[in-house]
Protein backbone atom coordinates (compact mmCIF):
# COMPACT_ATOMS: atom_id res chain seq x y z
CA UNK A 1 0.00 0.00 0.00
CA UNK A 2 1.29 3.45 -0.90
CA UNK A 3 0.00 4.97 2.31
CA UNK A 4 -1.83 8.27 2.56
CA UNK A 5 -0.95 10.38 -0.45
CA UNK A 6 -1.02 14.15 -0.29
CA UNK A 7 -0.45 16.67 -3.03
CA UNK A 8 1.19 18.97 -3.63
CA UNK A 9 4.16 18.52 -1.26
CA UNK A 10 4.91 22.23 -1.40
CA UNK A 11 2.73 25.16 -2.37
CA UNK A 12 3.68 28.80 -2.55
CA UNK A 13 0.92 31.22 -3.34
CA UNK A 14 0.12 34.88 -3.11
CA UNK A 15 -2.23 36.29 -0.56
CA UNK A 16 -5.79 36.28 -1.82
CA UNK A 17 -5.38 33.29 -4.09
CA UNK A 18 -7.35 30.08 -3.74
CA UNK A 19 -5.42 27.04 -2.54
CA UNK A 20 -6.55 23.43 -2.82
CA UNK A 21 -4.83 20.62 -0.97
CA UNK A 22 -5.53 17.02 -1.90
CA UNK A 23 -5.51 13.75 -0.05
CA UNK A 24 -5.95 10.12 -1.02
CA UNK A 25 -6.53 7.94 2.04
CA UNK A 26 -5.56 4.33 2.40
CA UNK A 27 -8.05 2.06 0.70
CA UNK A 28 -10.47 0.59 3.22
CA UNK A 29 -9.93 3.26 5.84
CA UNK A 30 -13.27 4.76 6.81
CA UNK A 31 -12.13 7.89 8.65
CA UNK A 32 -10.16 10.83 7.28
CA UNK A 33 -8.64 13.71 9.20
CA UNK A 34 -7.11 17.06 8.24
CA UNK A 35 -4.55 18.57 10.63
CA UNK A 36 -2.52 21.76 10.50
CA UNK A 37 0.88 22.19 12.14
CA UNK A 38 2.65 25.41 13.02
CA UNK A 39 5.47 26.16 15.43
CA UNK A 40 3.20 28.30 17.57
CA UNK A 41 0.15 26.05 17.79
CA UNK A 42 1.51 22.56 17.14
CA UNK A 43 -0.73 19.97 15.51
CA UNK A 44 -4.36 21.05 15.32
CA UNK A 45 -7.28 18.99 14.07
CA UNK A 46 -9.24 20.94 11.48
CA UNK A 47 -11.95 18.51 10.41
CA UNK A 48 -12.65 14.82 10.20
CA UNK A 49 -14.87 12.62 8.07
CA UNK A 50 -16.37 9.26 8.82
CA UNK A 51 -17.59 7.24 5.83
CA UNK A 52 -17.22 10.38 3.68
CA UNK A 53 -19.48 12.44 5.96
CA UNK A 54 -18.04 15.45 7.83
CA UNK A 55 -18.44 14.75 11.53
CA UNK A 56 -16.67 17.59 13.28
CA UNK A 57 -15.42 20.76 11.63
CA UNK A 58 -15.08 22.80 14.81
CA UNK A 59 -11.37 23.11 14.22
CA UNK A 60 -11.75 24.87 10.89
CA UNK A 61 -10.44 28.33 11.70
CA UNK A 62 -12.65 30.45 9.46
CA UNK A 63 -15.18 30.34 6.67
CA UNK A 64 -12.28 30.74 4.30
CA UNK A 65 -11.53 27.07 4.93
CA UNK A 66 -13.65 24.30 3.48
CA UNK A 67 -13.19 20.56 3.08
CA UNK A 68 -14.92 17.94 1.00
CA UNK A 69 -14.82 14.21 0.63
CA UNK A 70 -16.78 13.32 -2.51
CA UNK A 71 -15.87 9.63 -2.27
CA UNK A 72 -13.94 7.19 -0.13
CA UNK A 73 -10.70 7.71 -2.03
CA UNK A 74 -10.38 11.47 -2.22
CA UNK A 75 -10.60 14.58 -0.06
CA UNK A 76 -9.77 18.24 -0.56
CA UNK A 77 -9.06 21.12 1.78
CA UNK A 78 -9.60 24.50 0.20
CA UNK A 79 -8.59 27.93 1.44
CA UNK A 80 -10.20 30.88 -0.31
CA UNK A 81 -8.88 33.54 -0.06
CA UNK A 82 -5.55 32.54 1.43
CA UNK A 83 -3.70 34.74 3.93
CA UNK A 84 -0.09 34.72 5.17
CA UNK A 85 -1.21 33.38 8.56
CA UNK A 86 -2.44 30.24 6.82
CA UNK A 87 1.18 29.28 6.17
CA UNK A 88 1.70 25.90 7.80
CA UNK A 89 2.15 22.21 7.11
CA UNK A 90 -1.17 20.53 6.44
CA UNK A 91 -1.44 16.82 7.15
CA UNK A 92 -4.06 14.37 6.08
CA UNK A 93 -4.52 11.11 7.98
CA UNK A 94 -6.77 8.11 7.59
CA UNK A 95 -7.83 5.39 9.95
CA UNK A 96 -9.68 2.13 9.97
CA UNK A 97 -11.79 1.50 13.04
CA UNK A 98 -9.82 0.23 16.05
CA UNK A 99 -6.48 0.99 14.40
CA UNK A 100 -4.06 3.90 14.73
CA UNK A 101 -3.91 6.79 12.31
CA UNK A 102 -1.71 6.77 9.22
CA UNK A 103 -0.51 10.22 8.25
CA UNK A 104 0.54 11.50 4.88
CA UNK A 105 3.77 13.36 4.27
CA UNK A 106 2.04 16.73 4.45
CA UNK A 107 1.74 19.79 2.27
CA UNK A 108 3.90 22.74 3.21
CA UNK A 109 1.91 25.86 2.36
CA UNK A 110 3.52 29.27 2.15
CA UNK A 111 1.32 32.29 1.52
CA UNK A 112 3.26 35.44 0.63
CA UNK B 1 -8.74 13.82 26.05
CA UNK B 2 -7.33 12.86 29.40
CA UNK B 3 -4.50 15.26 30.18
CA UNK B 4 -1.01 13.87 29.67
CA UNK B 5 2.26 15.24 30.97
CA UNK B 6 5.57 14.53 29.27
CA UNK B 7 9.05 15.97 29.71
CA UNK B 8 9.89 18.59 27.12
CA UNK B 9 13.08 16.92 26.00
CA UNK B 10 15.32 13.93 26.64
CA UNK B 11 18.70 12.76 25.48
CA UNK B 12 19.83 9.23 24.79
CA UNK B 13 23.06 7.68 23.58
CA UNK B 14 22.90 5.61 20.44
CA UNK B 15 22.51 1.92 21.23
CA UNK B 16 21.14 2.53 24.69
CA UNK B 17 17.52 2.15 25.75
CA UNK B 18 15.37 5.26 25.59
CA UNK B 19 12.70 5.37 28.27
CA UNK B 20 10.08 8.05 27.66
CA UNK B 21 7.67 8.69 30.56
CA UNK B 22 4.12 9.94 30.42
CA UNK B 23 1.75 10.82 33.24
CA UNK B 24 -1.99 10.43 32.69
CA UNK B 25 -3.44 10.45 36.18
CA UNK B 26 -7.00 11.26 35.04
CA UNK B 27 -7.27 8.32 32.66
CA UNK B 28 -10.59 6.46 32.72
CA UNK B 29 -11.00 2.71 32.88
CA UNK B 30 -11.71 2.18 29.20
CA UNK B 31 -9.23 4.68 27.80
CA UNK B 32 -6.16 3.53 25.94
CA UNK B 33 -2.71 5.07 25.90
CA UNK B 34 -1.38 5.78 22.41
CA UNK B 35 2.11 6.73 21.38
CA UNK B 36 3.05 8.45 18.15
CA UNK B 37 6.25 10.04 17.00
CA UNK B 38 7.09 12.69 14.46
CA UNK B 39 10.43 12.74 12.76
CA UNK B 40 11.42 16.13 11.43
CA UNK B 41 9.52 17.14 8.28
CA UNK B 42 7.41 13.99 8.30
CA UNK B 43 3.88 13.19 9.39
CA UNK B 44 3.30 11.62 12.79
CA UNK B 45 3.78 7.86 12.92
CA UNK B 46 1.85 5.43 15.08
CA UNK B 47 4.09 3.45 17.44
CA UNK B 48 2.05 1.44 19.90
CA UNK B 49 -0.98 1.52 22.18
CA UNK B 50 -2.19 -0.29 25.27
CA UNK B 51 -4.96 -0.49 27.85
CA UNK B 52 -3.49 -2.04 30.96
CA UNK B 53 -1.17 -4.83 29.95
CA UNK B 54 2.35 -4.25 28.76
CA UNK B 55 2.64 -4.28 25.00
CA UNK B 56 5.52 -4.90 22.63
CA UNK B 57 5.87 -4.66 18.89
CA UNK B 58 8.71 -4.34 16.43
CA UNK B 59 9.16 -0.67 17.21
CA UNK B 60 8.86 -0.38 20.98
CA UNK B 61 7.54 -1.61 24.29
CA UNK B 62 4.87 0.07 26.36
CA UNK B 63 4.83 -0.35 30.11
CA UNK B 64 1.68 0.83 31.89
CA UNK B 65 1.65 1.02 35.68
CA UNK B 66 -0.87 -1.07 37.56
CA UNK B 67 -2.90 1.99 38.53
CA UNK B 68 -2.70 3.14 34.89
CA UNK B 69 -1.76 6.65 35.93
CA UNK B 70 1.50 6.60 34.05
CA UNK B 71 3.29 4.76 31.30
CA UNK B 72 6.72 4.44 29.75
CA UNK B 73 7.59 3.98 26.11
CA UNK B 74 10.80 2.02 25.69
CA UNK B 75 12.96 2.03 22.59
CA UNK B 76 15.31 -0.83 23.49
CA UNK B 77 18.25 0.13 21.29
CA UNK B 78 17.90 3.72 20.17
CA UNK B 79 19.39 4.74 16.84
CA UNK B 80 20.00 8.17 15.36
CA UNK B 81 16.86 7.68 13.28
CA UNK B 82 14.81 7.56 16.47
CA UNK B 83 15.44 11.27 17.02
CA UNK B 84 11.92 12.69 16.95
CA UNK B 85 9.11 14.23 18.97
CA UNK B 86 7.21 11.53 20.85
CA UNK B 87 3.56 12.10 21.72
CA UNK B 88 1.66 10.30 24.45
CA UNK B 89 -2.11 10.58 23.88
CA UNK B 90 -5.11 9.31 25.79
CA UNK B 91 -8.19 9.87 23.62
CA UNK B 92 -11.62 9.73 25.23
CA UNK B 93 -14.00 6.97 24.31
CA UNK B 94 -11.78 3.93 24.66
CA UNK B 95 -10.95 1.96 21.55
CA UNK B 96 -13.83 3.63 19.75
CA UNK B 97 -12.24 7.06 19.98
CA UNK B 98 -12.83 9.45 17.16
CA UNK B 99 -9.97 11.93 17.16
CA UNK B 100 -6.49 12.45 18.55
CA UNK B 101 -5.36 15.64 20.22
CA UNK B 102 -1.61 16.14 20.07
CA UNK B 103 0.18 17.98 22.85
CA UNK B 104 3.75 19.21 22.78
CA UNK B 105 5.32 15.81 23.27
CA UNK B 106 8.91 14.94 24.21
CA UNK B 107 11.75 15.82 21.89
CA UNK B 108 14.11 12.83 22.00
CA UNK B 109 17.63 13.47 20.77
CA UNK B 110 19.72 10.37 20.13
CA UNK B 111 23.40 11.15 19.93
CA UNK B 112 26.35 9.10 18.68
B44 at interface of A, judged by CB pairs closer than 8 A: yes
Query: Are B36 and A106 inside 8 Å of each other by CB?
Result: no
Give B-chain residues touching A53 at CB under 8 angstroms: none
3-class secondary structure, A78: strand
List chain A residues with pLDDT less than 50: none
Q: What is the pLDDT of residue B41?
A: 86
CB-nearest to B43 from A31, A98, A103 is A103
Predicted confidence at residue B92, as pLDDT, reads 82
Contact between B100 and A101 using a beta-carbon 8 Å cutoff: yes
Mutation site for A-interface testing, chosen from B6, B41, B43, B84 by largest number of A Cβ within 10 Å: B43
From first to last of the 112 residues of chain B, give the pLDDT tens digit: 668 999 999 999 999 999 999 999 999 888 899 999 999 989 999 999 999 989 999 999 999 999 999 999 999 999 999 999 999 999 887 766 678 899 999 999 999 9
**Which residues, in sequence order, are bridge partners of residue B32?**
none
pLDDT of residue A34: 98
**In this complex, is the C-beta atom of B99 within 8 Å of any C-beta atom belonging to chain A?**
yes
Is the CB of A56 less than 8 angstroms away from the CB of B99? yes
Find chain B residues with C-beta within 8 A of A49's C-beta: none
What residues does A45 pair with on adjacent strands?
A35
Tell me, what's the pLDDT at B68?
Answer: 94
Q: What is the pLDDT of residue B30?
A: 85
pLDDT of amino acid A1: 66
| Beta-strand relationship, A53-56 and A65-71 | unpaired
pLDDT, residue A62, reads 87
Amino acid sequence: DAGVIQSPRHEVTEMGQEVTLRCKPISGHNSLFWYRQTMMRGLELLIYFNNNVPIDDSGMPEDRFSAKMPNASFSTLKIQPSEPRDSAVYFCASRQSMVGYTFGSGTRLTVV
Amino acid sequence: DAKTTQPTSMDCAEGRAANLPCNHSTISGNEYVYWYRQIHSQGPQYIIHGLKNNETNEMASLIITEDRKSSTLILPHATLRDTAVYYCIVPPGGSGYSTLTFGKGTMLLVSP
